[in-house]
Amino acid sequence: MVIAVTAIAAFFIFFAIRSGNLSQPYARSGVIRIVAAENFYGNIAGQLAGNRATVTSILSDPNVDPHEYEANVQDAVAIANADIVIENGLHYDTWMDKLITASPNPNRTVIIAGNIAPDPLPDNPHVWYGIDNIVAIARSITDALEKNDPAASAVFENNLAAFDGSLSPIRDKMNGIKAKYAGTPVALTETIYLYQTQPMGLKVLTPFGFEKAIAEGNDPSVQDVSAADNQIGNKQVKVLIYNSQAVTPITTNLEDAAKANGIPVVPVSETMPPSATYQKWIMDELNALEQGLAQATGH
């Protein structure tokens, strides 16, 4: 998804630069300052850094549509003073590039997750939903931490090993769903969950054009909407996986039709709930999907 910096936000950023608030990053305090565009990257960075860093996550409210996010001067100041900045890239959070450019800092490390992910899907920037992608991204964050604090390298490596190990239950859950439900037809309101449905072998019937349009904040074609509606109306799919942060009248109609036809609706989000960890967030959604599949198939 493309999230633009509005003219008002751009004005405040420009004013801050002119007034000197962004031109001189703070001197290093001994604690690494990390700014993540999205809170799931911030949460992972916090797990890897422990008490040797402070983490600021810009997008952190799962009730806010990321399509509508507007960067502000506080975001700009945080990035100007960061030692490590993490963004998704792949045209998902292009407003971050504007903020980074507004405050040049040769000592700042910028991690672009989409450029690191080993298994990105075509036209799908949601790389954090791919577990293999997250492993590679966590490795890159750890490298940046060690660059900033070489004396703590052993601590960071231990934290990385613990993080990688904590993903094993997620892999096991996905393998279990695949073993039991591979080939089951499902519907998606957008592309975000393809990083989960594909490795689990679920059969997505929703036209990709429909998913991609919703993911990009556009209206799908009439033909794709009709196809998605018919799949729900004719009960050709067992579960509807619904992005609760990319809601439009079209997706709401699809959700209502699924409920009316007794098709389980499994909500997923692209911003992590604030009280969760990355691991709990992903596992909770997998558990909900498993329950929906069990309800729909009777096993």
Task: Mark out the alpha helices in 53-129 (DSSP H runs).
Answer: 73-80, 94-102, 113-116
* C-alpha to C-alpha distance for 164 and 145, rounded to whole angstroms: 16
Tell me the CA end-to-end span of the chain in Å, nearest whole number.
36
Cα–Cα distance for residue pair 68/150, rounded to 1 Å: 39
Across 255-299, the runs of DSSP E, i.e. the strands, are 265-268
Residue 7's contacts (CB-CB under 8 Å, 6 or more residues apart) are: none
Q: Specify the amino acid at residue 201.
A: G
Q: What six digits make up the tokens of 207?
A: 């036209």
Quote the pLDDT of residue 110: 97
CATH architecture for the domain at 169-297? 3-Layer(aba) Sandwich (3.40)
Residue 61 to residue 39: CA distance in whole angstroms = 9
* Class level of CATH domain 7-166: alpha beta
Q: What's the chain's length in residues?
A: 299
Average pLDDT, the chain: 90
Q: Which residues contact 77 (CB under 8 A, 6 or more apart)?
A: 16, 21, 22
Tokens of 95: 């407003």
Evaluate if pTM is beyond 0.75: yes
Residue 258 has pLDDT above 70, yes or no: yes
d(CA 65, CA 77): 23
Alpha helices in 149-241 (DSSP H): 153-166, 168-181, 194-200, 208-215, 222-233
Q: State pLDDT tens for residues 9-21.
A: 444 454 444 444 4
* Cβ atoms of 231 and 279 closer than 8 Å: no
Q: How far apart are CA 66 and CA 68, in angstroms?
A: 5
Q: Is pLDDT of 39 > 80?
A: yes
Please say whether the beta carbons of 55 and 34 come within 8 A. Answer: yes
Q: What is the pLDDT of residues 121-155, one digit of tens each?
A: 999 999 999 999 999 999 999 999 999 999 999 99
> How confident is the model over 55-96, as pLDDT tens digits?
999 998 877 766 667 788 999 999 999 999 999 999 999 889
The CATH 3.40.50.1980 domain(s) of the chain lie at 7-166, 169-297
